[in-house]
Amino acid sequence: MEYPQVLDTIGSYWPQGLGGPHCLLNISLKEAYTGAQRVVERNGERVRLAIPPGVHTGDRIYLPRSGREDAQTVHFCTVMVADQPPFKRYGADLHLDWSIDIRTFIHGDAVQVPTLSGQARLEVPAWTAPGTTLRLTGKGMPILNHPDMYGDLCVHLQATMPANATPLERQLIGDAVRLSGWRLERH
């Protein structure tokens, strides 16, 4: 969506008298996670803005008054947060599609999954069905204005056949998959 279209779309959400958005700030999901600094220009002046952790698309960051504006005029920037694969954001929760070896589903094990702050250990119990979603509590997005609170990371597990499986393992895994009604992702 182009800048004028975004302003037309979101302009109807602001009450009259606020003057509408002054600028549009495009930030990455990682910047929404950690917070960021931006410099914007307003009336020939450079203004530094602090973008707090946990902002959402559509949130407004108000520009400080320079003292020259009419008291009724409020200037602000509207935040647009871009998706950052492999993550998808839903509120404060992050969702991740993650493929693991079918043997991990059968035997159970811990796997490392990415988060916006690095890696996290995810315990996969034995005989977990492919397609199951496991949650890592507190590994999602920070809650705006609550610095110690985070959403969850929801990991949607998909199974793959191991590349180094022996013919006997492939047959046994295939039988287990058919008996359980599971689906394997093809790579």
Tell me how far apart the alpha carbons of residues 163 and 16 are, in angstroms, rounded to a whole number.
61
Shared domain for 60 and 92, answered yes or no, is no
Shared domain for 95 and 11, answered yes or no, is no
Q: Which of residues 39, 57, 82 is at a domain's end?
A: 82
Task: Give Cα separations from 17 to 21, 75, 78, 80, 102 (angstroms).
Answer: 11, 11, 16, 23, 59
Q: What range defines the domain where residue 123 resides?
A: 87-185
Closest Cα partner for 23 from 45, 36, 7?
7
Shared domain for 76 and 149, answered yes or no, is no
Tell me how far apart the alpha carbons of residues 27 and 36 are, in angstroms, rounded to a whole number.
8
Shared domain for 50 and 102, answered yes or no, is no
Residues 141, 142, 144, 149, Cα dihedral to 10°:
130
Shared domain for 72 and 157, answered yes or no, is no
- Residue 34: CATH number of its domain: 2.60.260.20
153-160/133-136 β-pairing? antiparallel
The count of structural domains within the chain is 2
Shared domain for 30 and 92, answered yes or no, is no
Shared domain for 106 and 140, answered yes or no, is yes
Residue 15 phi, psi dihedral angles, 5° rounding: -65, 150
Closest Cα partner for 96 from 183, 154, 169, 49?
154
Q: Which of residues 58, 82, 106 is at a domain's end?
A: 82
Extended strands (E) in the chain: 23-28, 36-42, 45-51, 60-62, 76-82, 87-90, 93-101, 109-115, 118-124, 133-136, 142-143, 146-150, 153-160, 184-185
What pTM, to 2 d.p., does this model score? 0.77
| Per-residue tokens: 177 | 């998959």
| Per-residue tokens: 10 | 């979101």
Shared domain for 98 and 44, answered yes or no, is no
The pLDDT, as a whole number, for residue 165 is 84
* pLDDT tens readout for residues 25-67: 999 999 999 999 998 887 777 888 899 999 999 999 888 766 6
Shared domain for 59 and 12, answered yes or no, is yes
Shared domain for 60 and 91, answered yes or no, is no
The pLDDT, as a whole number, for residue 114 is 97
Q: Which of residues 82, 98, 130 is at a domain's end?
A: 82
Residue stretches of the chain with pLDDT short of 50:
1, 4-5, 8, 15-18, 20-21
Shared domain for 22 and 53, answered yes or no, is yes
| Per-residue tokens: 152 | 């969850």
Shared domain for 68 and 109, answered yes or no, is no
